[in-house]
């Protein structure tokens, strides 16, 4: 398995959490709120595009909206490959953090 970068992992997790509302803008807002780091459009769009090409993401075009001057919004969701990648990363994290209890009690 090709391991994803931390940025890619966070983006996939944001898409998973946002479910059917995972547009570029919503993903960016969720990441900024969750991490406390201001994510630029480029910080999100470039990995989204790369992961789409690699088959981790699928997308659909929503209906045109008046707020966007009649332009449609693109929504992302995890493909089967994307779900499997997150599952594998979760198992790797569990193995890597196993036996390090002192971090569990620090805040």
Q: Write out pLDDT tens, residues 35-46.
A: 999 999 999 999
Contact assessment for residue 86 and residue 46, using Cβ atoms and an 8 Å cutoff: no
CA 43, 29, 14, 60: dihedral to nearest 10 degrees?
-80
Closest by CA position to 31, among listed 49, 20, 17, 21: 17
Q: What percent of the chain has pLDDT over 70?
A: 93
Whole-angstrom distance, CA of residue 80 vs CA of residue 84: 6
Residue 7 has a pLDDT of 96
The answer as to CATH 1.10.10.10 being correct for domain 6-95 is yes
Q: What is the pTM of this model?
A: 0.86
Residue 9 DSSP SS3: helix
Whole-angstrom distance, CA of residue 81 vs CA of residue 71: 29
Contact assessment for residue 77 and residue 84, using Cβ atoms and an 8 Å cutoff: no
């Amino acid at each position: 398995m090709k391991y994803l970068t931390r940025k890619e992992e966070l983006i996939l997790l944001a898409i998973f959490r946002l479910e059917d509302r995972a547009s570029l803008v919503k993903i960016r807002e969720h990441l900024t709120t969750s991490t406390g780091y201001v994510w630029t459009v480029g910080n999100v769009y470039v990995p989204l595009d790369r992961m789409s090409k690699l088959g981790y993401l699928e997308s659909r075009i929503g209906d045109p909206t008046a707020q966007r001057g009649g332009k449609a919004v693109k929504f992302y969701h995890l493909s089967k490959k994307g779900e499997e990648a997150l599952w594998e990363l979760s198992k790797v994290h569990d193995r890597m953090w196993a036996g390090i209890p002192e971090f569990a009690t620090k805040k």
